[in-house]
Amino acid sequence: MPFVKGKDNYLIEFGKNLRKLREQRGLSQEYLAIDANIPTNQIGRIERGEISTTISTLLSISKALQIDIKELFNF
Protein backbone atom coordinates (compact mmCIF):
# COMPACT_ATOMS: atom_id res chain seq x y z
CA MET A 1 0.00 0.00 0.00
CA PRO A 2 1.84 3.11 -1.20
CA PHE A 3 2.03 6.18 0.95
CA VAL A 4 -0.20 8.91 -0.45
CA LYS A 5 0.65 12.40 0.73
CA GLY A 6 -2.03 14.02 2.79
CA LYS A 7 -4.43 11.09 2.72
CA ASP A 8 -3.82 9.42 6.06
CA ASN A 9 -6.39 10.63 8.53
CA TYR A 10 -4.53 9.23 11.50
CA LEU A 11 -1.48 11.30 10.65
CA ILE A 12 -3.69 14.36 10.25
CA GLU A 13 -5.21 13.84 13.67
CA PHE A 14 -1.85 13.06 15.18
CA GLY A 15 -0.49 16.31 13.78
CA LYS A 16 -3.40 18.31 15.12
CA ASN A 17 -2.77 16.89 18.56
CA LEU A 18 0.91 17.74 18.42
CA ARG A 19 0.06 21.28 17.36
CA LYS A 20 -2.40 21.58 20.20
CA LEU A 21 0.19 20.38 22.73
CA ARG A 22 2.79 22.76 21.35
CA GLU A 23 0.47 25.78 21.29
CA GLN A 24 -0.80 25.03 24.79
CA ARG A 25 2.75 25.64 25.90
CA GLY A 26 3.05 28.83 23.87
CA LEU A 27 5.91 27.48 21.78
CA SER A 28 6.61 28.29 18.15
CA GLN A 29 7.54 25.51 15.75
CA GLU A 30 11.00 27.00 15.66
CA TYR A 31 11.45 27.00 19.40
CA LEU A 32 10.23 23.44 19.75
CA ALA A 33 12.43 22.35 16.88
CA ILE A 34 15.52 23.86 18.46
CA ASP A 35 14.66 22.30 21.80
CA ALA A 36 14.10 18.90 20.21
CA ASN A 37 17.19 19.29 18.06
CA ILE A 38 15.36 18.67 14.80
CA PRO A 39 14.75 20.91 11.77
CA THR A 40 11.99 23.49 12.13
CA ASN A 41 10.13 22.49 9.00
CA GLN A 42 10.07 18.90 10.25
CA ILE A 43 7.69 20.02 12.99
CA GLY A 44 5.49 21.62 10.34
CA ARG A 45 5.47 18.51 8.20
CA ILE A 46 4.43 16.38 11.14
CA GLU A 47 1.75 18.82 12.30
CA ARG A 48 0.27 18.93 8.80
CA GLY A 49 0.21 15.13 8.66
CA GLU A 50 2.50 15.06 5.65
CA ILE A 51 4.90 12.52 7.07
CA SER A 52 4.78 9.42 9.24
CA THR A 53 7.62 10.22 11.58
CA THR A 54 9.71 7.78 13.57
CA ILE A 55 9.87 6.71 17.19
CA SER A 56 13.20 8.50 17.63
CA THR A 57 11.75 11.81 16.47
CA LEU A 58 8.68 11.34 18.64
CA LEU A 59 10.94 10.75 21.60
CA SER A 60 12.90 13.95 20.94
CA ILE A 61 9.70 15.96 20.61
CA SER A 62 8.10 14.51 23.73
CA LYS A 63 11.23 15.28 25.74
CA ALA A 64 11.20 18.87 24.50
CA LEU A 65 7.53 19.17 25.44
CA GLN A 66 8.31 17.50 28.76
CA ILE A 67 5.57 14.94 28.31
CA ASP A 68 5.45 11.17 28.02
CA ILE A 69 5.57 9.95 24.45
CA LYS A 70 2.18 8.32 25.04
CA GLU A 71 0.59 11.76 25.32
CA LEU A 72 1.32 12.36 21.66
CA PHE A 73 -1.16 9.56 20.89
CA ASN A 74 -3.76 10.71 23.36
CA PHE A 75 -6.42 12.03 21.00
Partner DNA sequence: TTTAATTAACACATATATGTGTTTATAAAA
Partner DNA sequence: TTTTATAAACACATATATGTGTTAATTAAA
Q: Which residues contact 13 (CB under 8 A, 6 or more apart)?
A: 49, 75
Of residues 23-42, which lie at the interface with a second copy (CB under 8 A)?
37
Cβ(64)–Cβ(32) below 8 Å: yes
Binding-site member from 10, 13, 52, 59 for DNA (CB under 7 A): 52
State the binding partner of 45 from DNA, a second copy, none, CB within 5 to 8 A by kind.
Answer: DNA
State the binding partner of 69 from a second copy, DNA, none, CB within 5 to 8 A by kind.
Answer: a second copy
1 belongs to the binding site for a second copy (CB under 8 A) = yes
